[in-house]
Amino acid sequence: MIMGFVQTKGGTGKSTLALNMAFSKAVARNYDSVALVELDHQGTLRNWWEQRQEMGYNNGRVSFHHISSTQKEVFQEGIKAITQHNDLMIMDIPGEGTGRLHTRFACAFCDVAVIPMRQSTNDESAFLDNLYPIIKDIVLAVPEKRGRFHVLPVFTHPRAGRDKIYSHFKQVLPPHVTCLKTVYPARAVYENFNRNGLNLNEYAAVVAGNRKYRQQVEKAVQDIETISNTLITIGRESDAGAEEK
């Protein structure tokens, strides 16, 4: 199973979502081996992973891989090698690149492509201008890819009505793209949890003695678990649909 967090603009939470899903309890319950794959040449996750290695944190079933090449053959061989040794691959795809090659490659390979998007005209316009043309090309070439692209509303107000958010995206999204009925709320904890290579679960242990911080982190952890469970379910449904065909 290959899942990717993809968006042609930066700052939408892709890296935070990818790394914390990889270490979520939902993923640990369902997959024996997990590959966290970064395609960004800037290496944000690579630096974070190196910090984990230096601090001696337990990575459990999660391995890390960095693929920065824009050569199609190198990308294909890298993905193929990783999938052979892992039950789940979670890809963090860069915001922009020359010709958006990583975005094209990743969208073509993903079983489930998750598109983090704010409820704003700027994000919606950027999606329609940059990412949606790629999705249309892929679906035209491979009709089986229909139903594989899902918007995840991000940085929503913690008290915002999810039905209202879902209704908004359902109206504005074009064909071949659906909106998940879960959200990634705006929380201050997402800005500082990953210092020294921590993930959210590990950060929760660090702040356990501070009631206020602990409650904030616990809410963030639940956000990730809900999103992870949703994506795992979608992935299984995609697998089942492919087998029926």
Burial of 150 (0-12, 13-18, 19+ CB in 10 A): middle
Q: Give tens-digit pLDDT for 32-89.
A: 999 999 988 888 899 999 999 999 999 999 999 998 777 888 888 999 999 999 999 9
State the chain's mean pLDDT as an integer.
90
d(CA 157, CA 134): 30
CB 158 within 8 A of CB 187: yes
CATH code for position 213: 3.40.50.300
CA torsion sign for 11, 104, 3, 227 is positive
What whole-number percentage of the chain has pLDDT above 70?
A: 96
pLDDT of 166 higher than 50: yes
Give the ranges where 85-210 is alpha helix by DSSP (H). 101-109, 121-126, 132-141, 162-172, 200-206
Q: Give tens-digit pLDDT for 168-198.
A: 999 999 999 999 999 999 999 998 899 899 9
Q: What is the distance of C-alpha 2 from the center of its chain?
A: 11
pLDDT value for 202: 95
CB 71 within 8 A of CB 104: no
Bridge partners of 156? 185
**What residue numbers bound the domain in which 211 lies?**
2-244
Closest CA to 145 of 113, 115, 171: 113
User: How many domains are there within the chain?
Assistant: 1
Backbone angles phi, psi at 227, to 5 degrees: -65, -45
pTM of the model: 0.92
Backbone angles phi, psi at 117, to 5 degrees: -150, 135
pLDDT confidence band for 8 (50 / 70 / 90): confident
